[in-house]
């Protein structure tokens, strides 16, 4: 039985992480939630017991085993080293450590062996992690040379405040009232915004470049060429991606569908005769990544395929990927 802290998450992420801890049967002795003073002393009912959110205090690391950080870059940089000095293993959702050469960047379905005895394990960006849950079975059998990705990302990326802004601005739009954009660069109601994170010198955004940087680190392979366009859309929880792949070998669409159907955490949703394909509305509240619209690309043909994926980024990425990493570590010790 282990003592586990969830550090500085949003309310929505706390709930999903706790659900995952319960569903994956993580053996818990004590579970605590930490946040800033502003959120402290609120209560949250869970499957384990009622939890009181406590203000972050480095002294509490003294008798802790594992910490799940969803704290943002600054807080992760500050508190993760403090936790490590007290022999606490940190699994971090932020970008604070993703590009450190000594910190493993883990997608559990792909490179669990890279965890070894690391004291900090980084969770990839949501677009990278879910992309590779869907694409990895194809990569293993057919190889991969290039990818062109377009993301359609929900407001949950910005936590509860992002989702609240979508709901409030939608109401105001329908009532012809003045709207404010505090969370996003522009009004998100009935709109989409091709701008997530800061623009880089190459005119891509940081969110777009993360897919390249993180893929190269996960696979230790800089030869995979990737271009990404990241777009914010007016949905609540679920992200989607349109993915175009160039493989090493000529593709067999029926075989690829079989691969995906039999892959963990992947649900094949591809019945175009009945208008069944991945959509954000259907992907919410589910662990599986939905994959469909699988076809050969008619521009490049035999070595190119296209597919479309949707997933609940709050549940699947922010929570499940981190808890799966924790489960791998715990299972190794048994």
Q: From CA 165, how far away is CA 91, in angstroms rounded?
A: 29
- Cα–Cα distances in angstroms (integers) from residue 94 to residues 254, 267, 304, in the given order: 38, 27, 33
Which is it for strands 51-55 and 146-153: parallel, antiparallel or unpaired?
unpaired
Q: From CA 172, how far away is CA 158, in angstroms rounded?
A: 20
297 alpha-carbon distance from chain centroid: 27
- Here the tokens at position 290 are 């939905």
At residue 215's C-alpha, the angle toward residues 294 and 108, to 5°, is: 80
State whether residue 306 is helix, strand or coil.
Answer: strand
The catalytic residues are: 126, 239
At residue 134's C-alpha, the angle toward residues 133 and 137, to 5°, is: 90
Which residues does residue 243 pair with via DSSP β-bridges, in sequence order?
A: 149, 307
Radius of gyration for the chain, computed over Cα atoms and rounded to the nearest angstrom: 20
Question: Measuring CA to CA, which residue among 252, 259, 257, 229 is closest to residue 241?
Answer: 229
Q: From CA 259, how far away is CA 253, in angstroms rounded?
A: 10
Q: Which helix (H) or strand (E) holds 242?
A: strand 238-246
């Amino acid at each position: 039985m282990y003592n586990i802290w969830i550090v500085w998450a949003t309310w929505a992420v706390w709930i999903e992480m706790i659900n995952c801890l319960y569903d994956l049967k993580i053996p818990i002795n004590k579970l605590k939630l930490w946040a800033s003073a502003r959120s402290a002393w609120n209560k949250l009912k869970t499957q384990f017991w009622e939890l009181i959110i406590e203000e972050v205090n480095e002294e509490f690391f003294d008798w802790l085993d594992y910490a799940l950080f969803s704290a943002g870059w600054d807080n992760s940089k500050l508190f993760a080293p403090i936790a490590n000095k007290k022999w606490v293993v940190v699994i971090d959702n932020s970008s604070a450590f993703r590009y450190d050469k000594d910190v493993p960047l883990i997608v559990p379905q792909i490179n669990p062996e890279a965890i070894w005895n690391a004291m900090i394990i980084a969770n990839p960006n949501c677009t990278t992690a879910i992309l590779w849950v869907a694409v990895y079975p194809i990569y293993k059998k057919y190889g991969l040379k290039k990818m062109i990705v377009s993301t359609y990302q929900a407001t949950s990326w910005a936590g509860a405040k992002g989702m609240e802004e979508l709901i409030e601005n939608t109401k105001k739009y329908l009532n012809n009232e003045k709207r404010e954009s505090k969370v996003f660069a522009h009004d998100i109601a009935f709109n989409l915004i091709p701008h997530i994170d800061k623009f880089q010198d190459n005119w891509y955004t940081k969110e777009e470049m993360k897919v390249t940087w993180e893929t190269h680190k996960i696979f230790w392979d800089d030869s995979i060429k990737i271009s990404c366009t990241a777009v914010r859309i007016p949905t609540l929880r679920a992200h989607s991606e349109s993915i175009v792949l160039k493989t090493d070998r000529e593709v067999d669409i029926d075989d690829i569908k079989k691969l995906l159907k039999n892959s963990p955490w992947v649900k094949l949703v591809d019945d175009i005769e009945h208008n069944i394909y991945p959509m954000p509305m259907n992907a919410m509240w589910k662990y599986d990544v939905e994959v469909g619209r699988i076809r050969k690309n008619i521009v490049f043909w035999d070595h190119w395929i296209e597919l479309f994926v949707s997933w609940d980024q709050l549940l699947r990425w922010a929570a499940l990927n981190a808890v799966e990493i924790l489960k791998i570590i715990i299972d190794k010790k048994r």
